[in-house]
Amino acid sequence: MLLYFITCVSFFLFLKPLLSLKPLPSWASEVRLISLSLESISQLFRNQFLVGLLYQIHTRMSLGKKTLHSSKVENVEDTQDMSVLDLPELVLECILERLPPDSLCQMAGVCRSLRERCVSDYLWERHMKQKWGRVIGPVAFREWKWHVASKRSVGSARHGKQRNFMRLVSFSWPFSWMRVKVDANNSIKQFSSLPNDSVMAWYLALESGNFWFPAQVYNRENGHVGFMLSCYDAELSYDPHTDTFQARYPPHGRRAVSIEHGIPWERLRAPPVDTPPHDLHISDCLNDLRPSDHIEIQWRRNKEFPYGWWYGVVGHLESCDGNENYCLCKSSDTVVLEFNQYTSDSRWRRTSISRKDHREEGNEADGFYGGIRKIENEISIWKHLWPSEVLD
């Protein structure tokens, strides 16, 4: 018991000097606040208001004069200027990677150094893939390259390029800070010309609807019964106000160009093969086709029309009862294709093609069947588009 008492008293005497420590100076809390703000700056930049405020922060962010009191000497720190560019390079890069496209555009107007970072292809490739990756393919990329080359051939003055960049950005994100950048003499002091072939320029051209790109549309013409479970090539333009697209379909025979509005994202896809709509796709899967395989096949009304891709499945020969143990359909030279969206007595329900020497088959009455591609990833999309009623 005595030993316990002595231990407690000793421990108390040891802690007494520590408990009598002088309180921290008043400026210590400010230092802690600055530390916390730097740690959370990445999350704060997501707020558009704070991103807009960054311009003022970059121009001048004063730490203020702090008077440090001590028992011996009184020091007064000099006023210092701090910029967001003083952050470590890795920290600044992580912040910019988390900014949405509109905030990147705002950041590009802060200063030249931030502009060079914010317009880099590295930052915009992620946004391009995230929003446009499903509907933009190699065909659209080639079209954009041709579009850029044609603009270069025409040529324009440096000042004109700057104004074109600002007009493109302000069309998509007309924030008040942009209007401040243009002075009364119609000169843009803070912006240099944006390269026409940059990923940012491509993204803004798509986002504004100024660039028409090639893609394919499921169930064209608002799901017209004559195009159910098909996918046709078209030129698309984005409408940023409705978050939908308008499509221009090529003329069919004597029919003029058809235009469709209000197309949602889920009815679009990038062309899965690099085959123009009037050309026959060379089939490379014929020897692998088996009953129950899911396929897309080219079909057109007559040879003046472009092809569309139609969904179907591989069926069994009439001589086969469907028993897997005795089925010889996979070794037959004839491949049966079924389109189960049509009634069993419809002339569009079944057709057959040659496995060995298939080219284009058909006639003017039933249309012409072209190339075939076996599908896997697109099956769920076709099932989602399945008509509510069986077609005749």
- At 129-157, the pLDDT tens digits run 999 999 999 999 999 999 888 877 765 54
Q: Are 96 and 117 in contact (CB under 8 A)?
A: yes
| pLDDT-derived band at 193, boundaries 50, 70, 90 | low
pLDDT in the model for residue 43: 46
What pLDDT, on a 0 to 100 scale, did the predictor assign at position 35? 41
Task: Look up residue 341 and give its two tokens.
Answer: 């969206």
pLDDT digits (tens, 9 = 90+) for 378-390: 999 999 999 989 9
In 3-state terms, what secondary structure has residue 250? coil
The 3-state DSSP class for residue 27 equals: helix
Q: How far apart are CA 264 and CA 186, in angstroms?
A: 39
Write down the pLDDT at residue 353.
Answer: 94
Per-residue confidence at 87, pLDDT binned at 50, 70, 90?
confident
Instruction: Name which residue leads in pLDDT, 48 or 316.
Output: 316
pLDDT digits (tens, 9 = 90+) for 237-255: 999 999 999 999 987 767 7
pLDDT of residue 24: 46
Residues 6 or more apart whose Cβ sits within 8 Å of residue 214 = 139, 140, 143, 233, 234, 235, 236, 271
Q: For residue 185, is pLDDT > 50?
A: no
Residue 191 confidence class, pLDDT cut points 50, 70, 90? very low
Q: Are 320 and 336 in contact (CB under 8 A)?
A: no
- In the block, tokens 């309180």 appear at 23
Closest CA to 205 of 259, 176, 174, 168: 168
Helix-, strand-, coil-residue percentages of the chain, each rounded to 5: 40, 20, 40
> What confidence score (pLDDT) does residue 223 get?
83
- 113: pLDDT confidence band, cut at 50, 70 and 90? confident
Looking only at the bridges linking them, the beta strands covering 350-354 and 334-338 are antiparallel
Nearest C-alpha neighbor of 386 from the set 348, 356, 342, 345 = 342
Q: Which of 69-78, 160-169, 252-261, 338-347 has the highest mean pLDDT?
A: 338-347
Burial class (CB in 10 A: 0-12, 13-18, 19+), 217: buried
Q: Is residue 116 classed as helix, strand or coil in its secondary structure?
A: helix
Tokens of 238: 């984005």
**In sequence order, what are the beta bridge partners of 353?**
335
Tokens (6 digits) for 104: 């990147």
Q: Tell me: the pLDDT tens digits for 7-33?
A: 444 444 444 444 444 454 554 444 343
Taking the model in full, what pTM does it have? Answer: 0.71
- Provide the pairing of β-strand 361-363 with 308-314: unpaired
Q: At residue 78, does pLDDT exceed 60? A: no
Q: Which of 21-30, 152-161, 281-290, 308-317 has the lowest mean pLDDT?
A: 21-30
Q: In this structure, what token pair is assigned to residue 354? A: 């040659």
For residue 5, the model assigns a pLDDT of 45
**Alpha-carbon span 265 to 247, nearest angstrom:** 12
pLDDT at 162 over 70: no
Start-to-end Cα distance in the chain: 100
Higher pLDDT, 181 or 206: 206
Q: Rounded to the nearest 5°, which phi and psi values hold at 269?
A: -155, 155
Q: Which of 309, 129, 341, 301 is nearest to 217 (CA)?
A: 309
Mean pLDDT of 109-124: 89
In single-letter form, the type of residue at position 195 comes to P
Burial class (CB in 10 A: 0-12, 13-18, 19+), 328: exposed
